[in-house]
Amino acid sequence: MVIGKFRAVVVIGAMVVLGTSNVSGKTNEVLNLFSDAALKHWKQCGPGNFVVSNGIATGQGGMGLWWYAARPFTNFVLQGEFVQEQEIADSGVFIRFPDPKDDPWNAVNQGHEMEIGDPNPKEPTWRTGSLYPFAASSTANTKPVGEWNKYEIRCNGQDYSVKINGKVVVKWTDPKQRSASGYIGLQNYNDEKTVRHRNLQIMDLP
pLDDT in tens, 122-156: 999 999 999 999 999 999 999 999 999 999 999 99
Where along the chain do its domains lie? 14-33+72-204
DSSP-derived secondary structure for the chain: -EETTEEEEE--PPPPSSS-B-SS--BT-EEETTSHHHHTTEEEESS-EEEEETTEEEEESSSEEEEEEEEEESSEEEEEEEEESSTT--EEEEEEE---TT-THHHHHHSEEEEESBSS-SSGGGBTT-EETTB--S---PPSTTS-EEEEEEEETTEEEEEETTEEEEEEE-TT---SSEEEEEEE--SS--EEEEEEEEEE--
pLDDT in tens, 6-42: 333 333 333 334 543 344 456 678 999 999 999 999 9
pLDDT in tens, 178-199: 999 999 999 999 999 999 999 9
What pLDDT is stored for residue 28 in this prediction?
A: 77
CATH class, range 14-33+72-204: mainly beta
What pLDDT is stored for residue 79 in this prediction?
A: 98
Q: Contact 84/116 with Cβ under 8 angstroms? A: yes
How far apart CA 92 and CA 187 sit, in angstroms, is 5
- Whether residue 173 has pLDDT greater than 80: yes
pLDDT in tens, 40-84: 999 999 999 999 999 999 999 999 999 999 999 999 999 999 999
What pLDDT is stored for residue 5 in this prediction?
A: 36
